[in-house]
Structure 1
């Protein structure tokens, strides 16, 4: 009878031991982030080599490399990348700054939240790209319009995730701060900002993607330089290889930027024990 009674407990303990290792953080695969893109590249090469991918529809990788070499030799590719990078960095920096300031103001004050959160949610429901015609009327078709469009696409994810991170901080920390008697600035510096950091970095990852998506569009709206302009010209002349070169550049920029944010996140949040390992 005792053995029968102990059997379910033993089985439960065994199941727990069997499941627990799967939930433990595993050893991180070095450069694992690049495995997926490399597999995709290998599939592209295989499809082009076997004829499954028509080169008139999708240029072969080796043709893309050759075309990129020609563009580099003329200096056209470097100039386009530099122009696009400046636009993306300026828009990203401006959007991150505004989004962070708004999130902190809304997260630390009920009045601030009442004034800020509603308009940001309204902006969230309106795609930044839908505002381009209005921004052109206000700012013209120059660089300010392009940078502001990118910034508008960036500030929303930064605000949303940073604000959620601030609101997720346990209220008991605030009560403890009042008990200890530390200043408000010290509380913000020592508790609030570290507590909001995971949300901010997550928002930054989304912001990088949003910046590139906005960059693709604004560079095809009356632009005279940049990767998007190069793609538009190539489309007009049916140069599929140049189009694919531009798309590959966008993809590489996105992967490099996301990898950089991941590295910062791993260093800044090294104290966290997550399932990612």
Structure 2
């Protein structure tokens, strides 16, 4: 009976300590969130006061309240939801095409020295061509339709995943292969159980950068000859001199980009729990 009571008490102590650790972690997150939001709130308040007092020209720099009213109008009319959904679909299609090709080519050149010698010089040359330089050619070849926009986005999504996948594979410690030979791993076991887990941090970094560049490429694609999307709303607002609507488009791009980046960081925390990193 005493043994049972001791075991129950030990379980309670462990559960209480785990709950206290979780509580402390959430309190730390809330404190950091409070500290991190203090500066933006202060900037917004000063910005609003400056516009209200006439210290800044609200035509070129509209106040936060004016930007908020413009966002409310776009949301109420349904235009924001429609154009944002179109933009997200374009970015997803471009990323799916460019990112998957980047991953495949990165794996191919990473595992094969011959493939590296044949493909890598050409890929590195194409990587240095800016978005704005290649976009007019893509539009000339494929027109102003969805194909050209997806290809512009795919061009940007390809290279981060390609480079980081290639580097991740090539940076695997050679001593791990020696250990795998001692354990009599097959080639497939080496790839699945050794190479890919070791290269996963680099691959996830490539995924994060590829998604970011896809979202940036979307801006270029939609500002050049587009009839829909958030970039189109910005271009239309520029032609109509609606500065607050331009700010709305920029803020929407920033918020969606941040959400996507946070999702990839969440994946990194889940998939790389085995790493012992410096937390700051």
Which category describes the TM-score, using the shorter chain as reference length?
0.7 to 0.9
1:47 to 2:27 alignment: no
Q: Is the CA contact 2:101–2:158 (under 8 Å) kept in the aligned structure 1?
A: yes
TM-score in terms of structure 1 length: 0.84
Question: What root-mean-square deviation, in Å, do the aligned CA atoms of Structure 1 and Structure 2 show?
Answer: 2.0
* 1:203 to 1:177, Cα distance in 2 relative to 1, 3 A: same
**Residue 72 (structure 2) aligns with:** 69
Structure 1 residue aligned with 2:106, among 103, 124, 130?
Answer: 103
CA distance in 2, matches of 1:245, 1:88: 19
* 1:211 to 1:34, Cα distance in 2 relative to 1, 3 A: farther
Alignment of 1:177-196 (within 5 A): 177-196=180-199
Greater RCO (Cα-Cα under 8 Å, separation 6 or more): 1
Structure 2 residue aligned with 1:113, among 77, 95, 116?
Answer: 116
Q: Is the CA contact 1:220–1:229 (under 8 Å) kept in the aligned structure 2?
A: yes
Per-residue deviation, residues 87-114 of structure 1 (Å, max 9, x unmatched)? 1111112222111111111111101111
**Residue 30 (structure 1) aligns with:** 29
The structural deviation recorded for 1:53 is 4.2
Per-residue deviation, residues 159-180 of structure 1 (Å, max 9, x unmatched)? 1112111111011222232333
Structure 2 residue aligned with 1:59, among 62, 66, 78?
Answer: 62
* 1:272 to 1:115, Cα distance in 2 relative to 1, 3 A: same
For this pair of structures, how many residues does the alignment match?
A: 251
TM-score in terms of structure 2 length: 0.84
Structure 1 residue aligned with 2:167, among 164, 169, 187?
Answer: 164
CA distance in 2, matches of 1:261, 1:33: 19
CA distance in 2, matches of 1:211, 1:37: 27
* 1:30 to 1:116, Cα distance in 2 relative to 1, 3 A: farther
The structural deviation recorded for 1:121 is 0.8
Structure 1 residues without counterparts, runs of 5 or longer: 1-26
